[in-house]
């Protein structure tokens, strides 16, 4: 399938306090700024945020929302220094999640660090950041190691923003059994994104190129590449401290795996509707619904095992609801989701004392 380059662009807002719960409740809309982007840090203020969660999470889709992490932004010199501890990079996590099918002991980044610095230069916010993690166990029932390293650059003005992320090291190796080592090596990954602001309408585009190679006892067992392109537009309506937004986008991906000779393409047209309302001076309520409309196509060709071929046009239901609350008092903000995880469990449509707050995070603004 040809790559599509139709334009629908989304702009990230200047909300530098985009906690995990806040983002989740607002459907991870692209108009919400990524707090870890260097140019967002340049335009932010001093704060410290805590995302509660587990110390050890598995390398599976969605698990990177369950880990504990902290983010500190402090004024240093003319700009801001950001220190992220425990934060799992989304690009690395997504690529390893795909590779985990071939490397069953795959681990996410261990003790990850993200250090960024951003500052204002004339009318522009600029910033750069480093991503790093390293781990190795030499003895025990599982001998393995992982490492990652990446670079982030960002620039923004009132009208536009641009980001570049390069992951130039992403490795995992299981060497428990001598002579039968299983190794994953991520290919250099690029994520380029940008956006523009047209009044209440914002546009965003992102192109990413990722891939990885898996070897077992020195023999290639998988070699894959993936290209993703997304173009989105969001309209934001502000009214008395309330933000209502809706948006549409076009996302497409193309991936191929050369050892098993498989190809997969997707084409989706996601819609999002969301609201962040100020119920009181100290309470914000958030809700969103996302769904693919008209286009929700997936095609997978497996030349080796044709029985694995898949083609849906359109595909399964994708309607997803999320809600959350933010309590802001003095300098503390506590964000949480409500009626946590409504993906499959119908009993989770309730809000009661047993199902109250989830994905809780705490932020302190200096």
Partner 1 sequence: MGRYNFIFLFLITLLAFNVKASRGRISALQSIHLSDPELIYYFPSKQIEIPNYLIFQTGATESTYYNERPYAAFKSDFLSDNSDFYSVGFTMGRSSDLIDGIRDKVNRFYLTQYEQTANPVDFNYTFKSLGNTYSVGFFYADKNEKVNLVGNHAATLNFGLRIDDFTFSTNAGLYNSVVDPTTLDRLSIYQSFVGRLLYELDDIDILLDISSSQIKLFSSGVETSHLELLNYKMGLVKNEINGQDKFFYRLDLVTEQGRERTLNLDTRTISLPLTVGIESMLNDLFTIRGSVKQIIGVYKSSEFDPGENTTTAAVGVGLNIHKINIDGTFKGLIGSSANQQVNSNQLMTETSLTYWF
Q: How far is the CB of 291 from partner 1 (least distance, A)?
A: 25
Work out whether 169 is an interface residue with partner 1 (CB under 8 A): no
d(CA 167, CA 194): 18
Q: How far is the CB of 80 from partner 1 (least distance, A)?
A: 16
Work out whether 360 is an interface residue with partner 1 (CB under 8 A): yes
Q: Is there a contact between 225 and 263 (Cβ–Cβ < 8 Å)? A: no
Residues 6+ apart with CB under 8 A from 115: 81, 82, 83, 84, 129, 130, 132
Rule CB under 8 A: choose which of 4, 5, 45, 54 binds partner 1: 54
Site for partner 1 in 285-344 (CB under 8 A): 329-332, 334, 336, 340
Nearer to partner 1, 72 or 277 (CB): 72
Contact window for partner 1 (CB under 8 A) among 158-166, 285-293, 310-318, 350-358: 350-358
Work out whether 364 is an interface residue with partner 1 (CB under 8 A): yes
d(CA 350, CA 229): 36
Rule CB under 8 A: choose which of 63, 90, 105, 137 binds partner 1: 137
Q: How far is the CB of 20 from partner 1 (least distance, A)?
A: 9
Rule CB under 8 A: choose which of 14, 70, 81, 94 binds partner 1: 70
Nearer to partner 1, 113 or 153 (CB): 113
Distances (CA, A) of 24 to 69, 224, 264, 274, 320: 16, 29, 27, 11, 11
- DSSP labels, 144-191: EEEEEEEEEEEEE-SSEEEEEEEEEEEEEEE-SSTT--EEEEEPPEEE
# of chain residues touching partner 1 (CB under 8 A): 49
Q: Of 249, 247, 253, whose CA–CA distance to 4 is shortest?
A: 253
Work out whether 85 is an interface residue with partner 1 (CB under 8 A): yes
Rule CB under 8 A: choose which of 14, 60, 63, 66 binds partner 1: 66
Q: Is there a contact between 154 and 39 (Cβ–Cβ < 8 Å)? A: yes
Rule CB under 8 A: choose which of 56, 101, 121, 159 binds partner 1: 56
| HEC-encoded secondary structure of 59-115 | CCCCHHHCECEEEEEEEECCEEEEEEECCCCHHHHHHHHHHCCCCCCCCCCCCCEEE
Nearer to partner 1, 162 or 358 (CB): 358
Work out whether 68 is an interface residue with partner 1 (CB under 8 A): yes
- In the block, tokens 């990850």 appear at 112
Nearer to partner 1, 70 or 162 (CB): 70
Contact window for partner 1 (CB under 8 A) among 98-106, 166-174, 185-193, 355-363: 355-363
- φ and ψ of 199, to 5 deg: 70, -120
Q: Of 276, 289, 273, 290, whose CA–CA distance to 333 is shortest?
A: 276
Point out which residues bind partner 1 (CB under 8 A). Answer: 48, 50-56, 66-70, 72, 83, 85-86, 107-111, 113, 134-141, 329-332, 334, 336, 340, 353-360, 362, 364, 366
């Amino acid at each position: 399938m040809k790559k599509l380059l139709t334009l629908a662009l989304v702009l990230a807002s200047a909300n530098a306090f985009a906690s995990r719960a806040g983002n989740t409740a607002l459907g991870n809309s692209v108009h919400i700024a990524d707090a870890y982007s260097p140019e967002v840090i340049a335009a932010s203020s001093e704060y410290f945020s805590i995302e509660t969660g587990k110390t050890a999470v598995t390398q599976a889709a969605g698990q990177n929302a369950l880990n504990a992490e902290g983010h500190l932004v402090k004024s240093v010199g003319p700009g801001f220094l950001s220190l992220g501890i425990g934060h799992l990079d989304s690009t690395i996590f997504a690529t390893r999640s795909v590779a985990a099918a071939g490397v069953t002991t795959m681990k996410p980044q261990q003790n990850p660090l993200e250090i960024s610095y951003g500052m204002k230069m004339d009318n522009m916010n600029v910033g750069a950041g480093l991503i790093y993690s390293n781990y190795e166990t030499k003895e025990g029932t599982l001998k393995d190691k992982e490492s990652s390293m990446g670079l982030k650059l960002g620039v923004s003005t009132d009208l536009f923003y641009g980001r570049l992320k390069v992951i130039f090291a992403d490795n995992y190796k299981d060497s428990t059994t001598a002579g039968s080592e299983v190794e994953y090596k991520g290919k250099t990954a690029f994520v380029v994104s940008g956006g523009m602001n047209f009044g209440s309408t914002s546009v965003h585009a992102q192109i990413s190129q990722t891939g990885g190679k898996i070897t077992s006892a020195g023999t290639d067992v998988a070699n894959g590449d993936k290209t993703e392109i997304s173009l989105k537009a969001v309209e934001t309506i502000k009214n008395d401290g309330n933000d209502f937004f809706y948006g549409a986008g076009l996302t497409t991906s193309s991936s191929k795996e050369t050892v098993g000779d498989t190809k997969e393409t997707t084409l989706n047209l996601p819609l999002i509707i969301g609201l962040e309302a100020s119920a009181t001076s100290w309470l914000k309520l958030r809700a969103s619904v996302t769904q693919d409309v008209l286009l929700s196509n997936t095609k997978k060709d497996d030349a080796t095992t044709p029985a694995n071929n898949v083609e849906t046009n359109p595909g399964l239901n994708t309607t997803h609801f999320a809600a959350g609350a933010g309590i802001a008092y003095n300098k503390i903000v506590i964000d949480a989701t409500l009626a946590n995880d409504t993906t499959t469990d119908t009993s989770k449509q309730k809000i009661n004392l047993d199902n109250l707050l989830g994905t809780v995070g705490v932020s302190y603004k200096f």
